[in-house]
Structure 1
Amino acid sequence: MSEPDLVLRSDDGGVCTLTLNRPDKRNAVNRDLFRAFRAHVKAIEADGADIGIIVIKGAGDHFCAGHDLQSDPHPDALGWLRQEMLVLERLTKLRQPVIAAVQGTCYTGGLEFALTADFIICGESARFADTHGKWGLVPGWGLSQRLPRRVGQAKALEMMLTCQPYSGREAEAMGLANYCVPDTELEARVAGLCASILANSWHSNAENKRLVYDTDGMTLTGGLNHELMRNAGFDKDAANRGAKFAARKKD
């Protein structure tokens, strides 16, 4: 399989879907797959005006089993790890909201992949786990920072130190997943969320996302000042949206 084929891209109606495409390996990440993924992120950064939302999913029955531990290590392992971490951070910082659509395995590096998304929507077949400790490894893609922010410190430590798997329903209950639905409804649930987001101002979506992430960790006073002083202003379409609303009320 050639490098571009390891991550498939399809665009439809403002939705860009990136599919990790190593189904025979449960979409475990090797260097070639990651290079392909990095190329897609860079392309969206450079020319994403027609994209309003991004969906990340895995081919077949699984999202991602994490790093492919059978791959030969990079000669500069820490340097390559840093490159991977920076690419996933670029994914998080894209203007567009990002959804991870998860079914089946979502382990370790796969969980870190999902945590870079703004939303996690999963099927009931989903299994989430952090197994770094099982292999004598430590996170390098941001799990120690993103997981506690999503589920709280105590639950994050439970996941990291026990290495036990959690079902899709358990992930929803702890706030790791936004929604858990039967696998047969996953595609429709993701499509519905995309439609709800795309119907709103893409400018507002991007700026709301930026303000939330930029002020993470600030005091309330600092965050309020940031919102005021770093405000990007209204969408150029705001007046038209207001006029349409007023006309609808008259009807």
Structure 2
Amino acid sequence: MSAVLREDRDGLAILTLNRPDKLNSLTVGMFEELRKHVLALYKDESIGCVVLRGAGRCFSAGHDLADIAEGEAVPSRGWHSETLRLMERLPKPVIAAVHGHCYTGALEVALAADFIIAAESAKFGDTHAKWALTPIWGMSQRLPRRVGIATAKRLMFTAEMFGAAEAQRIGLAELVVPDAEFDAAIDRIARQILANSPFSHAANKRLLEATDARDMDSGLQWEILNNEGVGPDMQARIGAFMEKGRS
């Protein structure tokens, strides 16, 4: 059975972490499958948006501690982090859809998405310090960028668990929805994204990343000098809008 499933729905690719009996705890094998899916998505122009979610009771309980204890063998140093970076740099919007547990390594995975949609049941936390571990999948870089450095320090130092409402309050989650409405909300937002230009999505992702840590003046200069112009679908989109206005 595949540890990461892919399902395509009219331009939307849904990647599902699929070890529900182990609360989708993350292993080298899961990352290998996730990496293969991500690399395939780079080449698949039929897909305009990606959702990453978990099967069963939760998104993921985090890094499989049994794998850590056994001294998991990875292809190279930094391989997990490199895999998440590949996902983060996909030229398509990536949504992390989180319900239930999302702890430590799982939170690092979710942070590599463009934004997080959380069900009310979602629980977040960084427990590296609880297990005498330090992050190597990107927590120290992505969490403070998302919530601010002081909040990131508090969460990392205390190993505090917190719910979806708090995740939204601190800026970790963009949207919180009741569990009964979770699937519909994910699909609705994905369809809103798919209705817009894939050219713009790819260009905007590159622009936002390139200027994220710059001061305002250098960021504006970067935007002017590196703007990718208009997409091949611009005329068709404007024409369709104008035609709709005439009818």
TM-score range, shorter chain: over 0.9
| Aligned counterparts of 2:172 and 2:47: Cα–Cα separation in 1 | 26
1:172 alignment partner, one of 138, 145, 168: 168
* Gaps in structure 2 of 5+ consecutive residues: none
State the partner residue of 1:214.
210
State the partner residue of 2:29.
32
| Aligned counterparts of 1:227 and 1:114: Cα–Cα separation in 2 | 27
SS where residue 63 of structure 1 aligns? coil
| Aligned counterparts of 1:212 and 1:178: Cα–Cα separation in 2 | 17
- Residues 171-211 of structure 1: CA distance to partner in whole angstroms, max 9, x if unpaired? 11111100111111111111010011110111111111110
What is the aligned-residue RMSD (CA, Å)?
Answer: 1.3
Aligned residues: 245
State the partner residue of 2:10.
13
- 2:113 is aligned with 1:112: no
State the partner residue of 2:225.
229
SS where residue 192 of structure 1 aligns? helix
| Aligned counterparts of 1:151 and 1:75: Cα–Cα separation in 2 | 32
**Structure 1 residue 250, shift from structure 2 partner:** 2.7
| Aligned counterparts of 1:169 and 1:142: Cα–Cα separation in 2 | 23
**Structure 1 residue 74, shift from structure 2 partner:** 2.8
SS where residue 65 of structure 2 aligns? coil
State the partner residue of 1:126.
122
- Residues 118-139 of structure 1: CA distance to partner in whole angstroms, max 9, x if unpaired? 1100111100000000000011
Residue identity opposite 1:40 in structure 2 = H
Residue identity opposite 2:5 in structure 1 = L
**Structure 1 residue 247, shift from structure 2 partner:** 2.2
Residue identity opposite 2:46 in structure 1 = D
**Structure 1 residue 216, shift from structure 2 partner:** 1.4
State the partner residue of 2:237.
241
1:73 alignment partner, one of 52, 71, 74: 71
- Superposed, which structure 2 residues align to 1:72-221 within 5 Å? 72-75=70-73, 80=76, 82-221=78-217
| Aligned counterparts of 1:75 and 1:150: Cα–Cα separation in 2 | 30
* Gaps in structure 1 of 5+ consecutive residues: none
Residue identity opposite 1:111 in structure 2 = L
2:20 alignment partner, one of 11, 23, 35: 23
SS where residue 209 of structure 2 aligns? helix
Q: Is the 8 A contact 2:12 2:48 kept in 1?
A: yes
Q: What TM-score comes out, normalization by structure 1 length? A: 0.94
